[in-house]
Amino acid sequence: MAVTEPALAAVSAGQPAAHSSAHYAAQSGAHEGILRRQSARESAARTYARALPIVPVRARGLTIEGADGQRYLDCLSGAGTLALGHNHPVVLEAIRNVLDSGAPLHVLDLATPVKDAFTTELFRTLPRGLADRARIQFCGPAGTDAVEAALKLVRTATGRDGMIAFTGAYHGMTAGALEASGGAPDVRVARLPYPQDYRCPFGVGGDRGAELSARWTESLLDDPKSGVPHPAGMILEPVQGEGGVIPAPDGWLCRMREITAARSIPLIADEVQTGVGRTGTFWAVEHSGVVPDVMVLSKAIGGSLPLAVVIYRDDLDVWPPGAHAGTFRGNQLAMAAGAATLAYVRENGLAERAGVLGARMITQLRCLAAEHPCIGDVRGRGLMIGVELVDPAAADRPGAGTSDGTSVGDHAPAGSTESTGSTGSTESTSCTQPTGSTGALDRPTRPLPPAPELAAAVQRECLRRGLIVELGGRHSSVVRLLPPLTITDEQATAILDRLADALCAVAQPHHG
């Protein structure tokens, strides 16, 4: 199914919009002034604004128009928020309906018809097994606040304190969420290896690597001298997003479910980024059939406006009134936009569409990798896609190329099994795969050192060609594609063409 997008999406991005030259001159001056004032006045901690010096003034679907008249295909999508792209008509209509109805916009956590409708629509989508016994806590509007709530919930319910989280995880920027993320050391959180093919910590990748990671988890929990007390919960992302687009193998997720269930440890699925159809199922846990005890949801559930919730099984609902409060938990516009988005994704089969289109794009990117030795890995699930850039010259240097890019290991080529690298991409296309029956990349050597500067250069060249991409991964060397689920086949082709062009501009293609 191809979902059509009117207006802006139809025109080619990267080209000036159709206005007079006087209009441009004025807009262009405004554009530069705004950017100049931003860098003079805003915090040194600002993020996306550094790599993407654009001033969006209009947007529709996949396309953003800048104040200078340039148009861009937006594969950042508000860091994966915009399931339906910018300003989708059903979202705008839902927002207008609330505005026109005279309903209060701020109601703390009071009951309203808008909230009731949102909750009904959300519960309708939940994995069976959780839906029947689900409770919802509306949180402060960022994903990180819902993560805090989830951690608090399981700590209260179990009376325990410690938490199991995974290497490379990203759960947010508030204290508890940060503790559970890969970048921050903390004594209350034990961090275990997240399975991955390309930079497998055990040097084997695939099913074997995932099984070793599961056994490590099991032995750590059962060893009274492991130094890890019985935890209050385990938190994981079904596909690590910020960690570099690493899908957990379904078998590993099932093992995590078994391991936690057998030890009465609540399993928290952080679906802030993977939810609402992005990975090819409505919720990413559905690929494996795993039913978590707790789900953390944000980003796309608000239909582009801020909204975050925790969903959990009713027996965990033992925290006292006020245990997780906050002023902004009743954003009516976000609930209306969110309900419209959830319903649209469900009714139009956009999760399936994301699965099919994403698989095709991954296959095409793997073909591109055959021409570019600087592409170390291509992976993803649905429309959550990552291209890891590496330093191919390091292959000729002694001591290069290991799981962390610092020294040589001895394992098989990346993607040599069915797991991580190939999870979402089994569909074949006319393009000849470089290798293997699994569709994963054949890289004759071990993983090469990550190339963050090359990735930044690719991002810049993409922007010059009217394509917005994000960078992620442990070393910021993964080019990330998170397009709206509504993109057409033609738009997908335009995205890949521009990316290919950008790669050619910065990297030496492989000849012969």
Residues in the site for ligand PMP, rule: CB under 6 A? 79, 142-144, 147, 170-172, 237, 241-242, 270, 272-273, 298
As measured in angstroms, the least distance from the Cβ of 38 to ligand PMP is 20
As measured in angstroms, the least distance from the Cβ of 131 to ligand PMP is 22
Provide the 10 A C-beta neighbour count for residue 12: 11
As measured in angstroms, the least distance from the Cβ of 138 to ligand PMP is 14
Task: Name the residue number minimizing CB distance to ligand PMP.
Answer: 143
Whether 336 contacts 330, CB under 8 Å: no
**Residue 122 or 269 having the CB closest to ligand PMP:** 269
* Closest alpha carbon to 439 in 447, 448, 431: 431
**Residue 140 or 266 having the CB closest to ligand PMP:** 140
Q: What three-state secondary structure class fits 13?
A: coil
**Residue 180 or 454 having the CB closest to ligand PMP:** 180
As measured in angstroms, the least distance from the Cβ of 144 to ligand PMP is 3
**Residue 74 or 237 having the CB closest to ligand PMP:** 237
As measured in angstroms, the least distance from the Cβ of 245 to ligand PMP is 11
Q: For the chain, what's the residue count? A: 512
Residue 262 burial by Cβ neighbours in a 10 Å radius (0-12, 13-18, 19+): exposed
Locate all alpha helices (DSSP H) within 317-393, ordered by sequence.
332-347, 350-371
Q: Distance between CA atoms of 335 and 340, rounded to whole angstroms?
A: 8
**Residue 166 or 252 having the CB closest to ligand PMP:** 166
Whether 222 contacts 173, CB under 8 Å: no
**Residue 282 or 401 having the CB closest to ligand PMP:** 282
Q: Distance between CA atoms of 232 and 261, rounded to whole angstroms?
A: 12
**Residue 69 or 472 having the CB closest to ligand PMP:** 472
As measured in angstroms, the least distance from the Cβ of 208 to ligand PMP is 26
Q: Distance between CA atoms of 8 and 55, rounded to whole angstroms?
A: 16
Whether 499 contacts 467, CB under 8 Å: yes
**Residue 182 or 447 having the CB closest to ligand PMP:** 182
* Closest alpha carbon to 89 in 115, 113, 61, 62: 61
Whether 294 contacts 233, CB under 8 Å: yes
Provide the 10 A C-beta neighbour count for residue 32: 14
Q: What three-state secondary structure class fits 121?
A: helix
Show the tokens assigned to 421.
Answer: 């690298």
Provide the 10 A C-beta neighbour count for residue 500: 18
As measured in angstroms, the least distance from the Cβ of 476 to ligand PMP is 14
As measured in angstroms, the least distance from the Cβ of 147 to ligand PMP is 6
Show the tokens assigned to 460.
Answer: 């810049």
Three-state secondary structure string covering 231-290: CCEEEECCEECCCCCEECCHHHHHHHHHHHHHCCCCEEEECCCCCCCCCCCCCHHHHCCC
Round the CA-based radius of gyration of the chain to a whole number and report it.
23
Show the tokens assigned to 377.
Answer: 């890995």
Residue 382 burial by Cβ neighbours in a 10 Å radius (0-12, 13-18, 19+): buried
**Residue 114 or 272 having the CB closest to ligand PMP:** 272
As measured in angstroms, the least distance from the Cβ of 239 to ligand PMP is 9
As measured in angstroms, the least distance from the Cβ of 135 to ligand PMP is 20
As measured in angstroms, the least distance from the Cβ of 296 to ligand PMP is 7
**Residue 200 or 482 having the CB closest to ligand PMP:** 482
**Residue 92 or 178 having the CB closest to ligand PMP:** 178
Tell the residue number behind the tokens 């010059």, with chain if given: 464
